[in-house]
Each structure stands twice: as structure tokens, then as C-alpha cells.
Amino acid sequence: MARAVIIIVLSAWLAGVAVAQGPEVSLGVVKEAYERIDIYMGTLDVLSGGMASVDVATEMETTIAQDLKFSGLFRVGMLESQAETDSLSFQFAIRGQVEGPLRDAEVTGEDAPTTISLDLVTYPDGQLLLNKRYRPMPHRMRATAHHFANQVVEMLTGESGIAMTRVVFSRGSGDRRDLWVVDYDGENLMRLTSNRTLNLCPDWKPDASEIAFTSYSRGMQVLYSLDTATGKVRQIIAQEGLNLGASWRPDGEELLLSLSRSGDPEIYRISPEGEILRRLTAVPSIEISPEWAPNGRELVFTSDMTGTPQLYILDDVGSSRRRLTWEGNYNDSATWSHSGEQIVYATRENDLIQLVLIRATGESRKLLTDARWRNCEDPSWAPDGRHVVFASDRTGTFKLYVMDVLEGGVRQLTFGDEPDITPAWSPR
């Protein structure tokens, strides 16, 4: 009985989770009808293990359901959210069971195994498509749910899921901004630096083993790399002037960086050990904000060589320069989608920064945000090529939000009083 009550409450919560997490506000700008897959998240059977296993089952159900919703690819129904469930025509369902440790088992506590078995089946005939059995450590329940959600996304859509991705960002104000990391769903917020200075513009190495970021030492900019397994920080490069805007090449072998050692900021290719490999620009203006294309052979960057900042595409030997932006007199912060087809960037209009979507060819420019969101800055694509994390000060303080670029929905990712800026979405 108690379990049913819990499920009812949680289902009602989940049905309204869009509001609780931050309203699914339609920006009304980019909106296309998109076919979603209707899937039913069943109540997991608890075979043994008492209340602890009931909690595990609940966490698995709500996390999987949320991951599927957040992917943008599914509409999820659950038991007892009857109104919502009735409007869906399920093609698939998830069911399973949780087996916690038996009361008289010799092993207890941390060592006591909980086995979770999950099935993805067709609905209503129940044909088995996928079965997974997990035996996770107690603190790994949520990660297990994320893992299974990814399997479901991949099996049913062919896309790789983003349920195990994370977002690194810079939090703070005054003279201290530290790197923090958060799961893509807002959970597991964790601080990465505490070095009493400004830490900005992080970028993930493609294998997620390192995060490069700009910091300051005795007032001068330095590029550091943080080892994501150990938390240890090493210096990559510290040239005179700016050491800014690191972008790892997709094969992880090189980085792009803006260095002003020659007198004004230019784009360079450097090794992860800090060796300068190649200078790509040589114009007496500001060249900044480089980002590799997913093909690893081209890059986008910002230059004010015409007088105001605009985006340009360049190849990796510094030739074939092509101007990308022709509208607006202030364009910066480009992020290139993993398919290579789309770029999101920031444009300043009437003193406010807005996000723009453009094809890498330069066609189909579309505003993604408007003045109701105040400033929208620092966009970073998710590896699914559909979601973008960005910073907005619509509440008066910069917080991070995740936008579904295809449908225009937005959810808030980070909360609290401190400004959050320069996010970077992790690789898969």
C-alpha cells in the first residue's frame, strides 16, 4: 500500500516534472512537429530486500523515465498518471525487477548485492527487445539507470544517448570563479577547483579524461589541464598575454588556443604538452574563440578584422578563410554540432546577447532566443546534436539552461545565487 502511494505521488510529480525542473517554455521561434516514441515505464517488481530495494526500484523508474523524456525522443507514461497515460499509444514498455539482499544473508551493508534486471519489450505483446542485468554498488544506482536509458535510446532510435554526459562550467563572482561539474540532468554537482582565482572557458578532451581551462597565476593567464580521474591539475601553456579558449581536436591530439604573445590575439594549434605547433592567423586584430569542426580539419573562430567581431571558417593550415556571419555587428562564441552541419553562436543585438543557429555553410540563420531571456551566452552543443547548454541571466543572475534546439523547449540545469558561465558539454 505504501509503495502504491509512493508511486502515485512520484508519477504525479514526474508528470509535472517539466514545471518542477523549470518550465518547458517554448521560445516560439524554432518549432517543428516531431514524432516521439510513446513508451511505458512499468513499475519494477521488488522480489526481496525490503524498503531499501523499494527505494532502488523507485529511483530506477524515475531516473529512466526522466532520461527518456530529456532525450526529447520519447513521451513517457507511468502507472497511475492515468490522464497522461491515456493520451499515449505505447509501442514499447520497460519492465523489470529488483532483488535486494535477503534478510538472513551473511553479507550485509555495503557488500550486499542488489541485482536489477530490466527488459525493454514491445507493447502490448511484450516481445523482448533488450534485457540487462546489473549488480551495482549502492552509490551507482542512478548511473545504472542512465546506462539502461542510453541502451533504450540507442536500440529504438539509433542515436547514442546522452544520459551519462556531464556539463563543466565556471561558477562564482568577484575575484573567484571555480570549475564545477554537474550531471546533464542537474544531479551530482561537484566542485573541481578551489584555487582562489578566476577559472574560465573549460573544454573537455574527447575521451573525457581531461578538461583544459584558462586560469590566472599572479594575475597572468595560464592554460591548465585537469585530470578528471584524479582531480590533479597540470599546466599546459603560459605564454605572455592571453592563453584562452582551448578547443580539443576530436582525436584528442591537439588543441586550438588564442594566444596574444605576438602582440594581439591569434589562433594557434598547440600540443597537449604546450608546444606551439602552428600559427593559423596573422592579422593585426583580435582572433579568438576557436572551435574545431567535428571533421578535425576545419575550425570556426571569431575575428574583428573588419572592425567588429564576426565568425570565420578556416582550414587547419590557416588557409581557405571564409566568413560565416554577415548579419549583426557582434558575433562570437561559436559551437559546432557533432554532425558537422550546424553551428550555434552568440550575437549582440541592442546590448543583449542572443543565440543564433546557422548551417555551417552559412545558410538558414535562425534566432533561438529573444529579449525575454535577457542575455543568452556561451552555448555548447550536447553530443546528441539536438540540445545546447547556455548561460542566461533572465532571473538576474546567470544560470545554465538546456535547450532542445529542434523543438524550442528549455529546462533549467543549475540553481542558486552564484553566476554560472562558460559551460562545456562532455563527450559521450
Q: Which amino acid is at 76?
A: V
Question: Is residue 380 part of the contact set for another protein (CB under 8 A)?
Answer: no
Among 32, 35, 104, 175, binds another protein (CB under 8 A): 175
Cβ of residue 101: shortest distance to another protein, in angstroms? Answer: 50
Residue 318 phi/psi, 5-degree rounding, is 85, 20
Question: Is residue 372 part of the contact set for another protein (CB under 8 A)?
Answer: no
Question: Is residue 378 part of the contact set for another protein (CB under 8 A)?
Answer: yes
Q: Which amino acid is at 423?
A: P
Among 17, 39, 116, 286, binds another protein (CB under 8 A): 286
Among 215, 221, 228, 354, binds another protein (CB under 8 A): 221
Question: Is residue 421 part of the contact set for another protein (CB under 8 A)?
Answer: yes
Q: Please tell me the distance from the alpha carbon of residue 139 to that of residue 399, in angstroms, as a whole number.
A: 28
Among 8, 198, 238, 406, binds another protein (CB under 8 A): 198
What's the DSSP call for residue 64? H
Among 77, 265, 272, 383, binds another protein (CB under 8 A): 265
Q: In this structure, what C-alpha cell is assigned to residue 391?
A: 548561460
Interface region with another protein, contact rule CB under 8 A, candidates 4-12, 212-220, 231-239, 312-320: 212-220
Question: Is residue 200 part of the contact set for another protein (CB under 8 A)?
Answer: yes
Which residue number, 158 or 219, has a Cβ lying nearer to another protein? Answer: 219
Asked if 369 and 410 count as a contact pair (C-beta separation under 8 A), the reply is no
Among 22, 113, 241, 362, binds another protein (CB under 8 A): 241
Question: Is residue 242 part of the contact set for another protein (CB under 8 A)?
Answer: yes
Question: Is residue 365 part of the contact set for another protein (CB under 8 A)?
Answer: no
Asked if 95 and 119 count as a contact pair (C-beta separation under 8 A), the reply is yes
Q: Tell me which residue of 207, 205, 208 sits closest to 223, measured CA to CA.
A: 205
Alpha carbon distance, N-terminus to C-terminus of the chain:
40
Cβ of residue 245: shortest distance to another protein, in angstroms? Answer: 5
Asked if 393 and 400 count as a contact pair (C-beta separation under 8 A), the reply is no
Among 67, 99, 210, 377, binds another protein (CB under 8 A): 377
Question: Is residue 260 part of the contact set for another protein (CB under 8 A)?
Answer: yes
CB atoms within 10 A of CB 258: 26
Interface region with another protein, contact rule CB under 8 A, candidates 3-11, 105-113, 173-181, 268-276: 173-181
Q: Please tell me the distance from the alpha carbon of residue 276 to that of residue 240, in angstroms, as a whole number.
A: 13
Cell 579524461, residue located: 209
Percent of residues in the chain assigned helix, strand, coil, to nearest 5: 15, 40, 45
Which residue number, 163 or 286, has a Cβ lying nearer to another protein? Answer: 286
Q: Please tell me the distance from the alpha carbon of residue 163 to that of residue 60, in angstroms, as a whole number.
A: 13
CA angle in degrees (0–180, nearest 5) for 213-219-221: 30
Which residue number, 114 or 422, has a Cβ lying nearer to another protein? Answer: 422
CA–centroid distance for 416 within its chain: 19
Interaction site with another protein (CB under 8 A): 174-175, 177, 198, 200-201, 216, 218-221, 241-242, 244-245, 258, 260, 264-265, 286, 288-289, 302, 304, 309, 330, 332-333, 346, 348, 351, 353, 377-378, 421-422
